[in-house]
Structure 1
Amino acid sequence: MEPFLLVALAHFLALLSPGPDFFLIARSSIHAGWRIASGACLGIALANGLFIAMAFAGFTVLREGSTLFIGLQLAGAGYLLYIGQLFLRHAGKSDLAAHTSGRAVSGWWRGLGAGFLSGILNPKNALFYASLASMVASSSAAWKWACGAWMFSIVMLWDLLVAVAIGHPRLLRRFSRVLPWLERATGVMLMALAVALLVHLLPG
């Protein structure tokens, strides 16, 4: 239960910090409304779901304690440390107004395609989910399914919430004010997960 909660929390905190997917949804919502932007939300969620399935399926064929298993866990910890320090270093430097002023994707199906491409062509997504999967690699298949379903659902729900809320200037300004603290919290959480994984790998 504890690994699931840690992974779920780290995943949710990472969602709070804007990336390419966030800005695609924001532009679409501001210029075309949240209903059109929901297509991009679904496309992004499907891309994330594919990475989640690949990450968890890949770890199910690994034998715990093997060289490959340990190597993947070390790589996952290294990546979590890397993106954690990026969050800390760039906290407060995201300009939401600048990123949301571009041209929006028109049409629900075009939004779906653009969202899927945005998610699937981002190599950080694959590495991020592989890193999180390493945290629950020794858990039962049921827990892995639960964790994967949770992450897919949270991506979809969070993106829809962004699409609905981002069109309100007041909410956008408020989010911009708390964003630096969310980025710092995400960085600390991801780095803490990496350290916990490294400590777990130390010989007993």
Structure 2
Amino acid sequence: MEWQQFLALAGAHFLALLSPGPDFVLLLNHTFHHGRRAGYRTALGIACANAIFILAALFGLGWLQDNPLAYALMYWVGCGYLAWLGWQFWQAKSAPIRPEAATQAYADTPNFFVRGFASGILNPKNAMFYLTLFTVLVGKESSLLSRSLTGIWMFSVVLLWDCLVSWTLSHPKLFVLFSNQQRLLHRGSAYVMFTIVGVMTWSMLIGT
């Protein structure tokens, strides 16, 4: 792979990371409500889900494009999961949170890795994004080593970026600010999730 191709690939990938989506909303909520460690676990789950799509794109994800039923099933399961997350955010109750209290309550909280992984793996747009990226900017003519190194780079960037976001959001001043605005955060997150589900549903129905 030429360095120009790699720069284009890395740039497109990073720009996609900057675009807030369900993974970001989940990371935001887990970090503010449960602390930095929860955010890191969520980030690892999201990165591992991305790694699976990267591996699938490396070794042939084309079957998903050729199997409308499998894609539709994955699509609707993903919509259902995002809608469930939105409902969880909507029902969440506000309670005073301190950074040290979030760490203390860590053991009683959900499995953040699993939730992060589920959010990433049940998003069919992730699958198509990596497939398109590797098809257009990498191509089959690239060596296995080159594609593998690119995949490792992408996984590392996703993990480090999400951990950086979690670390930044867990800053004491931001933590206190959002702790005092929990209802707004929960309802805003729910609206974002419901909007994403609505757009995904509309896109699928219009496309069929």
TM-score normalised by the shorter chain: which range applies? 0.5 to 0.7
8 Å CA contact retained: 1:21, 1:44: no
Superposition deviation, residue 162 in structure 1? 4.1
Give the 3 Å change call, closer, same or farther, for CA 93–21 of structure 1 in structure 2. closer
Q: Where does residue 97 of structure 2 map in the other structure?
A: 96
Distance 1:71 1:104 in 2: 34
Partner residue in 2 for 1:152 = 159
C-alpha separation in 2, matches of 1:175 and 1:193: 23
Q: Which residue of 1 aligns with 2:20?
A: 9
Q: TM-score, normalised by structure 2?
A: 0.61
Report 1:37-48 matches (<5 A). 41=40, 45-48=43-46
1:192 to 192, 195, 200: 195
> What's the % identity of the aligned pairs?
13
Quick one: structure 1 residues 171 and 200, their matched pair in 2 at CA, closer, same or farther if it must change by over 3 Å?
closer
Q: Deviations over 1:69-123 (max 9, x none)?
A: 1101110001011101111121x42442384362899xxxxxxxxxxxx65xx42
Q: What do the CA deviations read for 1:46-69 (whole angstroms, capped 9, x no partner)?
A: 443222212454573542252111
Q: What is the match of residue 54 of structure 1? A: 52
Residue 127 of structure 2 aligns to a residue whose secondary structure is coil
When residues 193 and 7 of structure 1 are mapped into structure 2, their CA distance, relative to the original with a 3 A threshold, is farther
- After the TM superposition, which residues 1-204 of structure 1 pair with which residues of structure 2 at under 5 Å, given as runs? 8-10=19-21, 11-18=23-30, 22-23=34-35, 25=37, 41=40, 45-58=43-56, 60-64=61-65, 65-90=67-92, 92-97=93-98, 99-100=101-102, 102=104, 119=112, 122-132=113-123, 134-139=124-129, 140-142=132-134, 151-163=158-170, 165-166=171-172, 171-202=174-205, 204=208
Specify whether residues 78 and 47 from structure 1 end up closer, same or farther in structure 2 by C-alpha distance, changes over 3 A only: closer
Q: 1:12 to 1:104 in 2, by over 3 A?
A: closer
Deviation at 1:171?
Answer: 4.5
CA, structure 1 residues 89+150, in 2 after alignment: closer, same or farther (shift >3 Å)?
farther
Structure 2 residue matching 1:9: 3-state secondary structure: coil
Deviations 1:155-190 (A, max 9, x none): 111222245x23xxx554322112321221211111
Distance 1:81 1:149, change over 3 A: farther
**Would the aligned equivalents of 1:56 and 1:130 in 2 still touch at CA under 8 Å?**
no
1:183 & 1:18 partners in 2: Cα distance? 11
Structure 2: distance between partners of 1:79 and 1:66: 20
Shift of 1:44: 5.7
User: Is the Cα–Cα contact under 8 Å of residues 87 and 186 in structure 1 kept in the other structure?
Assistant: yes
Shift in CA distance, 138/171, structure 1 to aligned 2, threshold 3 Å: closer
Q: CA RMSD in A?
A: 3.9
Whether the 8 Å CA contact 1:77–1:194 is kept in 2: the answer is: yes
5+ residue gaps, structure 1: 27-39, 106-117
